[in-house]
A and B are shown apart, each in its own frame.
Chain A
Amino acid sequence: MSWCRMTGRVAWLVAVAVGLSADVGRAENWPGWRGPSRNGTSAETGVPVSWSTTKNVAWKTALPGSGISNPIVFADRVFVTASDGKNLANLHVMCLDRDGGGFRWHRRLWGTAPTRYHGSKSSMASPSPLTDGRHVWSFFGTGDVFCVNAATGNLVWHRSLADEYGTIENRFATSSSPLLYRDMVLLQVDHYGASYLVALDQKTGANRWKVDRPGRWLSWSSPQLIRGAAGGDEFIVCGSQRVESFHPATGKALWTVGDMRRECIPTPLFADGRLYVVSGPSGPSMKIRPGGRGDVTATHVEWKNSRGAPFVPSAILVGRRYYLVTDRGIATCLDAGNGKLVWQKRFGGGYTASPVAAADRIYWVNEAGVTLVIRGGGDRYEELSKNPIGESVFASPAISQGRFFLRTTRHLVCFRVVDE
Chain B
Amino acid sequence: MMSVLRTGLLVAVLAADLACSSLQAADDIDVHLSAIARTGPGGRGSVAARAARERLSREGLDLLPQLLEAMNTKNIVAANWYRSVYEDITRRELAADPAAKFPVSFLKQYVSNPKHQGRVRRLVLDLIDRLEPGYSKSLIPGLIDDPEFRDEAVAVALVRGDNAKKAGQLKRAIAAYESAFRSARNPSQVSSAAGKLKSVDRQVSVVAHMGFVTDWFFLGPFDAPGTTGFDLVLPPEKQVATGVVLKDTYKGKGGGRIGWKRFQTPDPFGQTNLIQVIAPVKEAVGYAYTEINSPRNQTVQLRCGADDNITVWINGKQVLRRLQWLNGTRLDRFRVNVTLRKGNNRMLVKVCQGPQHKNPAVPNNWSLQLRLCDAAGGGVGVTNGLPPLARTGAVDLRRRIAIKESVR
Which residues of A are interface residues toward B (Cβ below 8 A)? 85-86, 89, 107-110, 112, 116-117, 144, 146, 154-160, 163-164, 169, 192-193, 200-201, 204-207, 217, 261-262
- Residue of B43, B80, B362 near A201 (CB, 8 A) is B43
Interface centre among B50, B84, B330, B357 (most CB of A within 10 A): B84
CB-CB under 8 A from B50, the residues of chain A are: 154-156
B189 at the interface (CB under 8 A from A): no
B32 at the interface (CB under 8 A from A): no
CB-CB under 8 A from A158, the residues of chain B are: 39, 43, 46, 76-77, 80-81
B357 touches A262 (CB 8 A): yes
A157 touches B46 (CB 8 A): yes
CB-CB under 8 A from A146, the residues of chain B are: 80
With known contacts A108-B87, A110-B80, A155-B80, A160–B330 Cβ distance under 8 A: no
B327 at the interface (CB under 8 A from A): yes
B87 touches A204 (CB 8 A): no
- Residue of B43, B49, B81, B84 near A159 (CB, 8 A) is B43
Alpha-carbon gap, A146 to B326, bound state (A): 32
Alpha-carbon gap, A156 to B359, bound state (A): 45
CB-CB under 8 A from B76, the residues of chain A are: 110, 112, 144, 158, 160, 163
B45 to chain A, nearest CB (A): 9
Which residue on B lies nearest to A205, using beta carbons?
Answer: B43
CB-CB under 8 A from B324, the residues of chain A are: 192-193
B83 at the interface (CB under 8 A from A): yes
- Residue of B43, B54, B87, B359 near A157 (CB, 8 A) is B43
CB-CB under 8 A from B79, the residues of chain A are: 110
**CB 8 Å contact bits of B34-64 with A (1 = contact, 0 = none):** 0000010111001101100110000000000
Interface centre among B43, B50, B326, B327 (most CB of A within 10 A): B43
A204 touches B119 (CB 8 A): no
B330 touches A117 (CB 8 A): yes
B46 touches A205 (CB 8 A): yes
Alpha-carbon gap, A193 to B322, bound state (A): 10
- Residue of A89, A156, A163, A207 near B46 (CB, 8 A) is A156
CB-CB under 8 A from B333, the residues of chain A are: 116, 169
A258 to chain B, nearest CB (A): 11
Which residue on B lies nearest to A143, using beta carbons?
Answer: B76
A1 to chain B, nearest CB (A): 16
CB-CB under 8 A from B43, the residues of chain A are: 157-159, 200-201, 204-206
CB-CB under 8 A from A117, the residues of chain B are: 330
B342 at the interface (CB under 8 A from A): no
CB-CB under 8 A from B39, the residues of chain A are: 158
Alpha-carbon gap, A192 to B306, bound state (A): 13
B42 touches A159 (CB 8 A): yes
Which residues of B are interface residues toward A (Cβ below 8 A)? 39, 41-43, 46-47, 49-50, 53-54, 76-77, 79-81, 83-84, 87, 118-119, 122, 151, 324, 326-327, 330, 333, 357, 359, 362
CB-CB under 8 A from B326, the residues of chain A are: 217, 262
CB-CB under 8 A from B362, the residues of chain A are: 262
A110 touches B83 (CB 8 A): yes
Leading 7 A-B pairs by shortest Cβ distance: A205-B43, A157-B46, A204-B43, A206-B43, A112-B76, A157-B43, A158-B77
CB-CB under 8 A from B80, the residues of chain A are: 109-110, 146, 155, 158
CB-CB under 8 A from A89, the residues of chain B are: 119
CB-CB under 8 A from A155, the residues of chain B are: 49-50, 53, 80-81, 84
CB-CB under 8 A from A261, the residues of chain B are: 359
Interface centre among B54, B76, B118, B362 (most CB of A within 10 A): B76
B122 touches A85 (CB 8 A): yes
CB-CB under 8 A from B46, the residues of chain A are: 156-158, 204-205
A86-B122, A164-B41, A169-B333 known; 17 new pairs, CB 8 Å cut-off, are A108-B87, A109-B80, A144-B76, A154-B50, A154-B54, A154-B84, A155-B50, A155-B84, A156-B50, A158-B46, A159-B43, A192-B327, A204-B46, A205-B43, A206-B43, A261-B359, A262-B359
CB-CB under 8 A from B84, the residues of chain A are: 107, 109, 154-155
A354 to chain B, nearest CB (A): 24
Supply 9 A–B pairs (Cβ within 8 Å), ascending by A. Answer: A85-B122, A86-B122, A109-B80, A110-B83, A116-B333, A154-B53, A200-B43, A206-B42, A261-B359
CB-CB under 8 A from A193, the residues of chain B are: 324
Alpha-carbon gap, A309 to B87, bound state (A): 46
Which residue on B lies nearest to A153, using beta carbons?
Answer: B84
CB-CB under 8 A from B359, the residues of chain A are: 261-262
Alpha-carbon gap, A201 to B47, bound state (A): 13
B150 to chain A, nearest CB (A): 11
Alpha-carbon gap, A154 to B85, bound state (A): 10
A137 to chain B, nearest CB (A): 12
Which residue on A lies nearest to B148, using beta carbons?
Answer: A86
Which residue on B lies nearest to A165, using beta carbons?
Answer: B41
B121 to chain A, nearest CB (A): 11
B83 touches A109 (CB 8 A): yes
- Residue of A163, A192, A217 near B41 (CB, 8 A) is A163
CB-CB under 8 A from B327, the residues of chain A are: 192, 217
- Residue of A107, A112, A156, A207 near B42 (CB, 8 A) is A207
Alpha-carbon gap, A156 to B47, bound state (A): 8
Which residue on A lies nearest to B42, using beta carbons?
Answer: A206
Alpha-carbon gap, A160 to B39, bound state (A): 11
